[in-house]
């Protein structure tokens, strides 16, 4: 999956219920969270598989494995990111508003593996970026009813591995709601802004590179930093015994669409050899204990 899309699809739906509560199936009676798997420390682990573009802007699709870790240990929240995770050092309370503040880290493997287009592949693979930086957010609980939530969040990260050597900001907004005691859903809208170094690394085509492809990829120089994409992701989590609050196994189903923007859309990697329209889907199995 394109790395930007993983943030939403890796969220284990069984774990998210801890921040909002859950309705008893067939009633509005709140659940006593102190008597659930989410009281105190808990951990959700899982694995899945995604179908996604082979690189940002590609029209070739590949399968990608998805390991997952989410939970809360010693008051520190653990949330998945595409190719990484985030730590939240502010424990959630029982009020209307919760705040998140911590650090996020992720591996960006764009055009470093699984390049299916033969012209793009002829230019060789790029290095993997390791992006690290602060993560912050605010969650408003009980928006439309007693058990849903609306979260605004953003990660800001710098590449520390010497690949694109740039800066990336990834804001998102997510609406979460339980559909029953055994099923939850979330809808996330997200975008990504990157600086000029990022754009030059992933989207530029030098005269030498253009010549190496026989002119298949024309020379292209990004105009600077800007937004690279915007999209939406729908996630559904289904507990296999019909009760999310007791942990155990759950299925995660994800579908999403994003539109490549700006220089990320105008680069020949997208405009000549790929597509601005990016689709993805994922299926996973998680276990909470």
Domain ranges of the chain: 3-288
Report the largest interatomic distance among the alpha carbons of the chain, rounded to a whole angstrom.
Answer: 68
pTM of the model: 0.88
Percentage of the chain exceeding pLDDT 70: 88
List, run by run, the mean pLDDT of 10-residue segments along the chain (289 residues): 36 40 43 67 90 98 90 91 91 88 97 97 98 98 92 98 98 95 94 98 98 97 98 95 88 96 98 98 92
Please, is 227 exposed, middle or buried when counting C-beta atoms within 10 Å of its C-beta (0-12, 13-18, 19+)? middle
The pLDDT of residue 266: 98
Q: Residue 15 has which token pair?
A: 């774990």
Three-class DSSP category at 230: strand
The pLDDT of residue 142: 93
CA 263 – CA 265 distance, rounded (Å): 5
The pLDDT of residue 68: 82
The pLDDT of residue 56: 97
- pLDDT one-digit tens code per residue, 103-116: 999 999 999 999 99
The CATH code belonging to domain 3-288 is 2.40.230
User: Is residue 192 within 8 Å of 170, Cβ to Cβ?
Assistant: yes
Q: Tokens 């592949």 map to which residue?
A: 121
Three-class DSSP category at 244: helix
CA 127 – CA 195 distance, rounded (Å): 17
The pLDDT of residue 217: 98
Task: Centre a 10 Å sphere on the Cβ of residue 228 and count the other Cβ atoms it contains.
Answer: 25
Alpha helix (H) residue ranges in 22-160: 118-121
5, containing H or E segment = helix 3-9
Sign of CA dihedral 287, 251, 185, 8: positive
The pLDDT of residue 37: 77
Q: Tokens 């682990």 map to which residue?
A: 45
DSSP classification of residue 35: G
């Amino acid at each position: 999956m394109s790395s930007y899309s993983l943030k939403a699809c890796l969220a284990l739906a069984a774990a998210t219920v801890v921040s909002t509560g859950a309705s008893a199936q067939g009633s509005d009676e709140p659940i006593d969270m102190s008597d659930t798997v989410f009281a105190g420390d808990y951990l959700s682990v899982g694995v899945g598989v995604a179908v996604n573009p082979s690189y940002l802007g590609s029209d070739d699709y590949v399968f990608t494995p998805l390991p997952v870790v989410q939970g809360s240990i010693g008051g520190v929240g653990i949330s998945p990111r595409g190719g990484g995770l985030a730590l939240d050092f502010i424990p959630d309370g029982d009020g209307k508003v919760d705040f998140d503040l911590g650090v996020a880290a992720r591996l960006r493997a764009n055009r470093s593996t699984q390049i299916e287009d033969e012209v793009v592949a002829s230019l060789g693979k790029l290095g993997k970026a390791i992006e690290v930086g602060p993560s912050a957010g605010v969650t408003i609980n009980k928006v439309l009813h007693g058990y849903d939530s609306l979260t605004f969040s953003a990660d800001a990260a710098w590449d520390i591995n010497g690949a694109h050597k740039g800066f990336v900001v990834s804001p998102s907004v997510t609406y979460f709601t339980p559909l029953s005691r055994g099923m939850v859903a979330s809808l996330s809208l997200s975008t990504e802004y990157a600086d000029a170094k990022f754009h030059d690394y992933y989207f530029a085509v030098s005269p030498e590179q253009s010549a190496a492809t026989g002119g298949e990829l024309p020379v292209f120089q990004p105009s600077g930093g800007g937004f690279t994409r915007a999209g939406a992701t729908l996630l559904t989590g289904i507990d296999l015994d019909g009760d999310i609050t007791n942990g155990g196994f759950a299925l995660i189903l994800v579908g999403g669409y994003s539109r490549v923007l700006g220089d990320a859309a105008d680069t020949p990697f997208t405009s000549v050899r790929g597509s601005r329209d990016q689709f993805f889907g994922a299926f996973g199995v998680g276990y909470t204990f």
